[in-house]
Structure 1
Amino acid sequence: MHAAGPVTLSLVIPVFNEEDSLDGFLVRIGQVFAREAQIGLELVFVNDGSTDATLDRLLRHQMDDPRIRIVDLSRNFGKEAALSAGLQTATGRIVVPIDVDLQDPPEVILQMVARWREGYEMVLGHRISRRNDSWAKQTSANWFYRLHNRIAEQPLPENVGDFRLMDRCVVDALLTLPESRRFMKGLFAWVGFRTTHVDYERPERAAGKSKFNGWRLWNFALEGITSFSTEPLRIWTYLGAAVSLVSFGIAMFIVTRTLIYGVDLPGYASLMVAVTFLGGLQLIGIGVLGEYLGRTYIEAKHRPVFLVRRIYEPKD
């Protein structure tokens, strides 16, 4: 059990070109926590290289709200890096990553805090439906979770995003992980700790547009699979062995038929099919190797996950 007294909560909020969403988000946060005297709130906004007026609007809000801290990254590093920057900056005893689009309702945070007081160190926000997502997004998400959880050593909880409550011990553990290519959902699951969840209905986005298109989601899925499983490499070993056995069987059949019936004219079409099929398999296998080799190459450089241009404290 965690103490029932006052606690400091840090909200980590990555933003990229979200000037239209900030006002409504801050109003909603103010409404939710206005009567929560036992929760000291810290708002850590991470400006991930926005090219609109996001930073200027944040600075204006900061003049009126001393709870706001702004981490301004030197360029756009991506949400995973921005989230890592926010976790590194947050000072609260408990930390909750949340987006400004209000698809993750701030009211759920109060339920998470209640579960944390029961002794849990991580409280997941579990979406009970994805009805506001497109059919393609729902289908691809379901297939990704099925594939990932079948081949990865540490499964991911389905229909759970970055929205969760973490105790300080969880945040400190995450900050010790050294990789520069960070798939945060996998890292959250990998560290473990005592975990539970709260269910919630995910509404439509309040303002602005999602920055994740189909191509980015595809690359994100590849990142998740290759970050926590070497099973794709093993699959190609088995596939190569299977193709070799089939080829050996076909060769024995041809030899036997030739000895019995004599030599006939080989078929051009079947030859082209065999060559292109095996060539395609080889190229795909090389591509899988390249995915892992590329990640190894990037990790070997030991570049930082992000670079901070400036941290704007309330008195700056």
Structure 2
Amino acid sequence: MTSRVANPHPEPTAKVPVALSVVVPLYNERAVLPLLLERLTQVLQPLGISYELVLVDDGSHDGSGVYLLEQAARNPTIVAVRLSRNFGKEAALSAGMDVSSGDAVVILDADLQDPPELIGSMLEAMRAGADIVTMKRRTRAGESWGKRLSAHLFYRLMSRISHFKIPEDTGDFRLMSRRAVNALNSLPERNRYMKGLFAWVGFPTHVIEYDRDPRAAGNTKWNLLGLIGLALEGITSFSIVPLRWASALGLLAAGVGMSFGLWIVVGAVFHGNPVAGYPSMIAVTTFLGGVQLLSVGLLGEYVGKTYFETKQRPLYVLRDVVQSPRQASQTPTPLKD
């Protein structure tokens, strides 16, 4: 068993090339891991290609990391990656892609809402010429109408305000060629919204629609605040349109305030109307103050991103990367796309 420890990024020379890497970022998913490995094995073994399962533990505290080490000790197709703490899904996903060595890389969530049985169809699309195979959700079983509606609206908002097309109703579940993965790995930014980066790198893309299943076990780790934060991260990472909206709102507020003030002056001079007094003043002041605070907060989001990028800290820190040595018979010729 080999172990690579404490490097922010693993050395390329330590990788064993395979045809397919399946990258699975996870956090506190111990309950679903046995089923995940069983289904992946059932799907991948009949394909007759070399593969690896890059399972990235993002600082779990439910025993997920220990379980991965145990499985990696007895199964050479499993690469157990443990981060030094919880860095977030986007960082864990980036770590998995850095460690992966496959000619093709599939990204899959540990909860099995995205069926691994579709990997064969994804590989066929890649062989037909696609560098990226995007999986579009046709239905979302096991999710509330509120979450489905908010996701529907968010993807369409992102598509409108971005200067490039971000596919609608797609998550992280997708396949990428090695050159697409290398392009993603070369991006230096620390504030990452992966769904946007997948689209930003371009390359020929094929879309497959599928029905999303309910979670196989455990509970979602995303709460309302987390989803709002992810949405804000996506919007501010790929568009400056919100800043323009804030400017437009400020201009509108100034115009309204000026018109209201002019109306009061004209009424007092020509008609002798008494000045309305404190209620109208407080209403206008409160409105303008709200616009200013909103604009300053929005500007702060962009400035904060710049601040963190200038620090140039690594996106993640590895605790260890563990994999058992492969036998010669276990490393057939990698897949050619």
List aligned pairs for 1:105-120, cutoff 5 A: 105-120=115-130
Aligned: 1:65 with 2:75? yes
CA 1:197–1:169: 2 relative to 1, 3 Å? same
Q: Which residue of 1 aligns with 2:32?
A: 21
- Superposition RMSD on alpha carbons, in Å? 1.6
Match of 2:46 among 26, 31, 35: 35
Aligned: 1:192 with 2:202? yes
Q: Supply the AA of the counterpart residue of 2:291.
A: L
Q: Which residue of 2 aligns with 1:161?
A: 171
Aligned: 1:308 with 2:308? no
Aligned: 1:82 with 2:92? yes
SS in 2 for 1:249: helix
CA distance in 2, matches of 1:63, 1:130: 36
CA distance in 1, matches of 2:36, 2:318: 24
CA distance in 1, matches of 2:286, 2:140: 41
CA distance in 2, matches of 1:199, 1:261: 67
Q: Which residue of 2 aligns with 1:3?
A: none
Q: Supply the AA of the counterpart residue of 2:20.
A: L
Q: Which residue of 1 aligns with 2:220?
A: 210
Q: Paired residues, what number?
A: 310
TM-score by length of 2: 0.89
CA distance in 1, matches of 2:285, 2:38: 63
Q: Which residue of 2 aligns with 1:150?
A: 160
Q: For the Cα contact (< 8 Å) 2:141–2:214, is it kept in 1?
A: no
**Cα drift, residue 56 of structure 1:** 1.6
Q: Which residue of 2 aligns with 1:135?
A: 145
**Cα drift, residue 190 of structure 1:** 0.4
**Cα drift, residue 265 of structure 1:** 4.0
Aligned: 1:279 with 2:301? no
CA distance in 2, matches of 1:15, 1:120: 27
Match of 2:23 among 9, 12, 24: 12
Q: Which residue of 2 aligns with 1:292?
A: 302
Cα deviations by residue, 1:186-225 (Å, 9 ceiling, x for unpaired) = 0001001000111211111111111111110000000000
Q: For the Cα contact (< 8 Å) 2:91–2:316, is it kept in 1?
A: yes
Greater RCO (Cα-Cα under 8 Å, separation 6 or more): 2
**Cα drift, residue 119 of structure 1:** 0.7
User: 5+ residue gaps in structure 2?
Assistant: 1-16, 327-337
CA distance in 2, matches of 1:196, 1:294: 35
User: 5+ residue gaps in structure 1?
Assistant: 1-5
CA distance in 2, matches of 1:244, 1:99: 48
Cα deviations by residue, 1:126-175 (Å, 9 ceiling, x for unpaired) = 11112421111111111211221111112321111111000000001001
Q: Supply the AA of the counterpart residue of 1:17.
A: N
CA distance in 2, matches of 1:202, 1:178: 32
**Cα drift, residue 263 of structure 1:** 5.3
Aligned: 1:56 with 2:55? no
Identity of aligned residues (%): 47
**Cα drift, residue 251 of structure 1:** 2.3
CA distance in 2, matches of 1:148, 1:267: 44
CA 1:63–1:186: 2 relative to 1, 3 Å? same
TM-score by length of 1: 0.95
SS in 2 for 1:129: strand
